[in-house]
């Protein structure tokens, strides 16, 4: 039996393997980091909405300023958001009890000297331009949506 000898040597094998594997490895690492960024964006959006609602409840802003305050509260991650796509809608309450209370509050507001609390339920959405890998999967961006309700005593 004659030994078969493969011409050349194996010194470059590890290098070739690394060169082949590195893009895949980097792709995975980038995927993980970009997933983390996307999650952070969502948390920041939730936080920004909550903070703006808190400021509304504290009487420091009115309902018309909610959008600009949310945009300000997005902080360092605001680069990922399409601020122009920020959409704030006042929602009608989803259950009958809330609808009934709304009517009562509305009726009371016509009586002078009788105080009444006020507030809204907002549906807020914004488009996010995700980092490049997610952009391949979501070419039109990702839309974050949230609903929140708060009332305040008029100050």
Site residues, another protein (CB under 8 A) = 28, 31-32, 35-36, 39, 42-43, 46-47, 49-50, 53-54, 57-58, 93-95, 97-98, 101, 113-117, 119, 121, 146-153, 155
HSE (side-chain half, CA atoms, 13 Å) at 6 = 2
Query: Cβ contacts of residue 134 below 8 Å, gap of 6+?
Result: 34, 35, 38, 142
Q: Which is nearer to another protein, 76 or 95 (CB)?
A: 95
Nearer to another protein, 39 or 138 (CB): 39
Q: Which is nearer to another protein, 5 or 84 (CB)?
A: 5
Smallest distance, another protein to C-beta of residue 64, A: 19
Output the smallest distance, CB 6 to another protein, in A.
12
Q: In the complex with another protein, which residue's Cβ is closer, 75 or 84?
A: 75
Per-residue burial over 6-37, b = 16 or more CB atoms within 10 Å of its CB, e = otherwise? eeeeeeeeeeeeeeeeeeeeeeeeeeeebeeb
Q: What are the phi and psi torsion angles at 21 (to 5°)?
A: -85, -30
Q: Tokens 């009934």 appear where?
A: 100
Contact between 154 and 58 under an 8 Å Cβ cutoff? The reply is no
Q: Supply the minimum distance, in Å, between the C-beta of residue 141 and another protein.
A: 18
CB of residue 135 to another protein, shortest distance in Å: 18
Which residue's CB is nearer to another protein, number 84 or number 95?
95
Q: Minimum CB separation from another protein for residue 149, in Å?
A: 4
Dig out the tokens for 72 from the structure. 């300000």
């Amino acid at each position: 039996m004659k030994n078969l000898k493969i011409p050349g040597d194996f010194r470059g094998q590890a290098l070739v393997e690394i060169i082949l594997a590195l893009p895949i490895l980097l792709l995975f690492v980038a995927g993980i980091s970009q997933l983390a960024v996307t999650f952070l964006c969502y948390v920041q959006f939730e936080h920004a909405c909550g903070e703006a609602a808190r400021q509304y409840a504290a009487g420091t802003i009115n309902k018309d300023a909610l959008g600009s305050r949310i945009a300000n509260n997005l902080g360092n991650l605001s680069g990922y958001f399409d601020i122009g796509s920020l959409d704030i809608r006042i929602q009608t309450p989803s259950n009958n009890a809330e609808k009934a209370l709304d009517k009562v509050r509305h009726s009371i507001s016509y009586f002078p000297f009788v105080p009444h609390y006020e507030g809204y339920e907002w549906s807020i959405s914004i488009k996010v331009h995700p980092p490049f890998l997610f952009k391949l999967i979501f070419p039109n961006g990702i839309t974050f949506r949230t609903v929140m309700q708060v009332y305040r005593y008029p100050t």
